Structure 1
Amino acid sequence: MSLTDTGTRIRVPHFVRGRLVWGEDTEYHSRDFGVPFVTPRLRLDELFEPRTVPGPAFDVPVSEIIDLLVETGRHLALDSNPYLQESLEMTARVSPLPRRVIENTYHRPGQFLTRRALEYRLERTFGGLDVLDGWVEHTDPDGNVSRVRAFPPRLVHMLAGNSPSGAMMSIADAALVKAVNVFKMPSADPFTTVAVLRTMADIAPDHPVLRSMSAVYWRGGDAQVEGVLYRSQYFDKLVAWGGGAAIESAAKYVAPGFQLISFDPKVSMAVIGREAFASEETLREVAELAATDATIYNQDACVAPRIIFVEGGIERADRFCALLCERLGMDRQFASAVGPKPPGDVREAVEGMRFLEPDYRIWGGYDGRGLVVRSPEPVDFHPTNKTVNVVPVDAMLDAAAHATVATQTVGVYPAHRKAELRDRLATAGVQRVVKLGSALKGSIGVPHDAMYPLHRMVHWVVDDDA
């Protein structure tokens, strides 16, 4: 069956413990454009079994699960996968991202669904695969013997809607820890998760991993659904991605035995040293690196910097601002030359600053090609939709005073000066420091949001002889 129904509504199936379920019982609307879509009736009792019943994948060797994920990665090729092709068409109807950027995102699974990447990540997180497959014995300095297992959990995943790659990675994570899973699909992309699971079902239709997974949709905050699912009688943890309101709504369900693993809203920034002004050519290169980071998914990504601190005076900052504004309006792999226009509150705030020159200065406009605001302190509005706030500082360390626990990624130029910043940034709460221009890149097996997510997901159990 096809996702499309009529010219105005989209049919969105559920995937329930290995079965594809179609229906048109409930109508919803997408987050950004209000596009209507219909789903089957949500039957909560079908999403899980009692805790007295082990999950289907609890005793499946992790090596076998890696085999399945690697084979799935091979089949997630957009040019030959009909589910991804159909999902692309539907996502393009509901997402503010241009079709070209969504298409490029669908080519990403091959980067992390490889045997080398998956095994390395598990080694970095758990020190080996044995603790996932069984009870690993240890003897402490006093001679006491214990056995520890990273036991498979029961998880509800509240997926993010700003990039299809999030759904793909969440499925891989859920499989690696052998969890019983319910994925709450986002209204901004209720398609990718099921497309990946349908691909897995074609490869191994009765695999225990598939029977451990359900992907369904309900409107976020629906107490009739969440009041049932978000309980320790059925699940151990809620793995939540989302905006502030969504995380706050989810957090109220935290109780003994039911934990929240929160990938809550973050903002990122960049710090540029005086070395950028060594020559006009160098400054242009630095402006390009900064624009590459700032426009990731048209700035609808936590890793995209919204504030850039420039070491030096106003004159240097203004030279950088002019070049940065020019580079914001370029097509890139994960950004478009013309993105969504800045919202009304941003336009209103910026217009008010025009009366404060020369302390404030503005480059660009409100057409979605890019907007740069230079100010003596960080602005009090949230820069978004390719809006960047540039703040001159006397020294790079001064920028650390503006970092908080909500600051995720900090891009630094030149790269060798990361070392003088990272401890101060970490003290402020920053979770990641990178070379300017590489915010979307990342090493395998490193922490995310100040934790090793897989390590948090599992249920650590000890059999102690002491």
Structure 2
Amino acid sequence: MQSTLVKTMDTEVFEIPILLRGKLIKDYSETFGGRNGAKFLTPSAKKYANQISLSDPSKMKDLYDLSIEEIITFLHDLGQRLILKENEYLQAAYELACQASGLTPEVLHTTYQTLPMLFHPSNIREMLDKRIGIEYLESWVPTKMEDGRTIAIRAFGSRTVHIIAGNVPTVSAASLIRSCGTRCDAIFKLPSNDPLTATALIQTMMEMEPQHPITKHCSVLYWRGGDTHFEEKFYRPENIEKIIAWGGFNSIKYISRYLQPGIDLITFDPKISTSIIGRDAFQDDQTLYTVAQRAAIDVGAFNQEACLNSRIMYVQSGTTEDGIERLNTFGKILYSALVNLPSHVSTPPKIFNETLKDDIEGIRLDDDFYHIYGGKSNEGAVIVSQFDEPVDFSHRLCSRVVNLVPVDTIDTALQSVNSYTQTVGIFPESLKLQIRDILPLYGVQRVVSLGFAANASMATPQDAIEPLRRMCKWITDEKSVL
């Protein structure tokens, strides 16, 4: 396999083509700076503005000549070709991600190695059947109504744009699988901190079967967000029906300006995650060490780059002198567990946030208010509050830094979550069962056993919505009784 995704060694610039419905475009004319200093060349999106969207929606009919099982087989065949050591496109994506991503090479390597698992037939079949119902994708499903009418319902794919996040490479793979499984026409806008993974996936697809209907309904390109001259012509109902956007507050707010009747916005907003640990964690030393190990995984997986990583942990240690001492002991054990996680799970961050470092050093000597374990060598840190409030810079916690907050009752923890909270990891399981009906009322979107926050599945809702169902158009055929 000859890769067109090569790095020019003398200039340290990567070439990223436009892939347009099976067509490879390589007239590189624009240079962009990725995050963390990476640079890449790409063709001008404006030059191909009239070719990017699907001009004739009836051309999606070829997707309906395929059964869902044929689509699943195609995706499985693609997954078999995503072996990192054998795929030059993915190798180039990994090399660029090592420069542009916030993840370290060790964590990135593990992430790329797991990509084929996402494309396994059982995973895709489960996702489509549990979240939509394969019968609705394959046929018109009749329903008898109370007034005697028969309504047949079918889920159709949409013309979509995916504004994907680059914090973890699996976002590109999951977005591709969701789009193909719902028979969508998909345009993927590349992120600057991972501008090559989606390209590598679709270029592998093009090499595998360039004329396949799935290939002909996937496009991938980069343009700098905020190019209103280009975007105002592009984001129109005659071109696009659904925008699936991952991103921070400003990017989601910005893309909202293009919404109008006929365009639906599906967002995966910026979230924070937390943990709630009950008093049972302190029942004996072995339990405390086990809880610390599980908590460390929720903090350190993906080097705390994902929304699902815990940043604040509310611990029912009590706020008495003895309770604070118990929490300080737990903080020491948690710090040890965090820095000793295996390198394929977590490593010291590539870049430690300088503002956060100043925040930590600013409170390091305030022993009456905070005890800090670690953080001197940019390896991560555990901040133990000595009273029942988090640090005032909790919104900046990253780089494997977590804040432990003592509470007397679980109610204090419940009142600390809100609609910005995505995942809450809980110990013990009995406590999770006790509060899982209350947490959603405060805005929590996902409840997991402590230690399993990073064990996400494509076959579940995300951010308290059903993205697969929303990517579809739900059409009714109504037969009335005369």
TM-score, normalized by length of structure 2?
0.92
Shift of the 162–145 alpha-carbon distance from structure 1 to 2, 3 Å rule, reads same
| Paired position in structure 2 for 1:106 | 112
Aligned residues: 464
Matches of 1:50 and 1:220, distance apart in 2: 23
Q: Which amino acid aligns with 1:319?
A: T
Deviation, 1:280, is: 2.1
- Which sits farther off after the overlay, 203-212 or 56-65? 56-65
Shift of the 58–29 alpha-carbon distance from structure 1 to 2, 3 Å rule, reads farther
Q: RMSD between aligned alpha carbons? A: 1.7
Matches of 2:402 and 2:315, distance apart in 1: 12
Paired residues for 1:41-60 under 5 Å: 41-42=44-45, 43-55=48-60, 56-60=62-66
Q: Which amino acid aligns with 1:169?
A: A
Q: Give 5+ residue unaligned stretches, structure 2.
A: 318-322
Q: Give 5+ residue unaligned stretches, structure 1.
A: none
| Paired position in structure 1 for 2:425 | 411
Deviations 1:395-432 (A, max 9, x none): 23321111111111111111222011211211111111
| Residue number among 92, 103, 119 corresponding to 2:98 in the alignment | 92
Shift of the 341–117 alpha-carbon distance from structure 1 to 2, 3 Å rule, reads closer
Matches of 2:347 and 2:115, distance apart in 1: 25
Tell me the SS of whatever aligns to 2:244: strand
Deviations 1:3-39 (A, max 9, x none): 21243211111211112221221110002x1222110
Contact preservation (8 Å) 1:150, 1:460:
yes
Q: Which amino acid aligns with 2:113?
A: H
Matches of 1:331 and 1:12, distance apart in 2: 34
Matches of 1:354 and 1:152, distance apart in 2: 54
| Paired position in structure 2 for 1:9 | 13
Shift of the 194–462 alpha-carbon distance from structure 1 to 2, 3 Å rule, reads same
Matches of 2:263 and 2:242, distance apart in 1: 5
Deviation, 1:290, is: 0.8
Shift of the 198–137 alpha-carbon distance from structure 1 to 2, 3 Å rule, reads same
- Which sits farther off after the overlay, 268-277 or 58-67? 58-67
| Paired position in structure 1 for 2:464 | 450
Matches of 2:343 and 2:368, distance apart in 1: 36
Paired residues for 1:300-319 under 5 Å: 300-312=305-317, 313-319=323-329
Deviation, 1:357, is: 3.0
- Corresponding position: 1:388 with 2:392: no
Tell me the SS of whatever aligns to 1:57: helix
Deviation, 1:219, is: 0.9
Matches of 1:48 and 1:337, distance apart in 2: 41
| Residue number among 73, 93, 96 corresponding to 1:67 in the alignment | 73
Contact preservation (8 Å) 2:275, 2:424:
yes
Contact preservation (8 Å) 2:210, 2:216:
no
Contact preservation (8 Å) 1:152, 1:458:
yes
Shift of the 93–342 alpha-carbon distance from structure 1 to 2, 3 Å rule, reads closer
- Corresponding position: 1:332 with 2:342: yes
Deviations 1:424-444 (A, max 9, x none): 211111111111111111356
Paired residues for 1:53-452 under 5 Å: 53-55=58-60, 56-127=62-133, 129-312=134-317, 313-332=323-342, 334-354=344-364, 356-375=366-385, 376=387, 377-381=389-393, 382-443=396-457, 445-452=459-466
Deviation, 1:335, is: 4.2
Contact preservation (8 Å) 1:59, 1:133:
no
